[in-house]
Amino acid sequence: MQRVKLVGEIAKFGSNWETNCRDIRDIFKLIDCQTPGFRQHLIAAADAGIGYEIKRGKDYLDNEGELLLSLNSEDVIITEDDCGSTDGKIKRTIIEGSDIIESIGEQILGRVACDDIIDPSSSEIIVKAGNLMFISGQIPLDPETGDLVSQSIEDQAKQVLENVKSICEAAGCSLDDIVKISIFLTDLSNFAVVNDMMKEYFSEPYPARATVEVSGLPLGVNVEIEAIVLING
């Protein structure tokens, strides 16, 4: 059990929480599930240049990977601050060179459809609001340590798929509910390896898929995967 304190503007969603979460990211997910508007607040705050100072026990987090480190029974303090990024503060965005990779709100929570998606030909609702979840690009970070796994494409692909699977399960669904998956590879010759790995995680009917070769990925990894999931589909 953790005691969580929210400080600053974010405290409007409840200043004190008691949670039993696996990691900091799950704390954000829990608050998002229980308080309307939390997701939108995070994304808007990130767009406005607002950051978060996160303290677990006696130590401050100093990088995004630590959001995934396992929690024990320790106090967590999350302070919203218009800080950009300094020592002890998680950046509002993940930056590599001069490129903005993704906002902290998207990194932690992903996105869902805010409005019903309508078939223009029949006016029928294809996806109800809140039922379509967009999983942000996942890279091969070990959620227990926050570290990258080995440089092996097999190990990296397996870890990425495990991360996607965990996000699906946290939303109450499974890999079978994925309707579209996008794979980004730094070397397209690794396609066959990733394709074989996917057969271990997916069964027919397979989701729609796109595979793209890119010049580089965050932290120098070899593979990144994003997905669209139909919740309660």
Length of the chain: 233
Question: Which of the pair, 140 or 84, is modelled with greater confidence?
Answer: 140
Residue at 160: amino acid letter: V
Longest dimension (CA), the chain: 58
Asked if residue 195 and residue 133 are part of one domain, the reply reads yes
Residues 55-96 have pLDDT tens digits of: 888 888 877 677 777 888 889 998 887 654 444 455 554 434
Asked if residue 101 and residue 121 are part of one domain, the reply reads no
Domain boundary at 106, 129, 161, which? 106
Asked if residue 115 and residue 99 are part of one domain, the reply reads no
Residues 169-188 have pLDDT tens digits of: 877 789 999 999 999 999 99
Q: Which residues of 88-101 are buried (b: 16+ CB within 10 A; e: fewer)?
A: ebbbbbbeeeeeeb
Residue at 11: amino acid letter: A
What is the reported pLDDT for 157? 96
CATH of the domain at 22: 3.10.20
Asked if residue 57 and residue 16 are part of one domain, the reply reads yes
Q: CA 129 to CA 112: how far, in whole Å?
A: 8
pTM: predicted TM-score of the whole model, two decimal places: 0.52
Q: CA 109 to CA 40: how far, in whole Å?
A: 10
Asked if residue 214 and residue 154 are part of one domain, the reply reads yes
End-to-end CA distance of the chain: 33
CA 47 to chain centroid, in Å, comes to 17
Asked if residue 147 and residue 130 are part of one domain, the reply reads yes
Asked if residue 196 and residue 141 are part of one domain, the reply reads yes
What is the reported pLDDT for 87? 46
Asked if residue 81 and residue 32 are part of one domain, the reply reads yes
CATH of the domain at 203: 3.30.1330.40
What is the reported pLDDT for 97? 39
Give the best-scoring range by mean pLDDT among 32-46, 70-84, 102-116, 217-231. Answer: 217-231
Domain boundary at 45, 71, 106, which? 106
Using omega within 30 degrees of 0 as the cis cutoff, is the peptide bond preceding 218 cis?
no
Does the pLDDT at position 105 exceed 80? no
Asked if residue 37 and residue 115 are part of one domain, the reply reads no
Domain boundary at 71, 106, 141, which? 106
Does the pLDDT at position 98 exceed 60? no
Give the single-character DSSP code of 206: P
Residues 1-32 have pLDDT tens digits of: 788 999 989 899 899 988 877 778 778 877 87
Beta pairing, strands 208-213 & 178-185: parallel
Average the pLDDT over 195-223 and give the result. Answer: 92
- Read off the tokens for 64: 């995004």
What is the reported pLDDT for 27? 83
For residue 65, give its domain range.
2-106
Place of tokens 């906002």: 103
Asked if residue 159 and residue 66 are part of one domain, the reply reads no
- Using pLDDT thresholds of 50, 70 and 90, give the confidence band for residue 231: confident
The domain total for the chain is 2
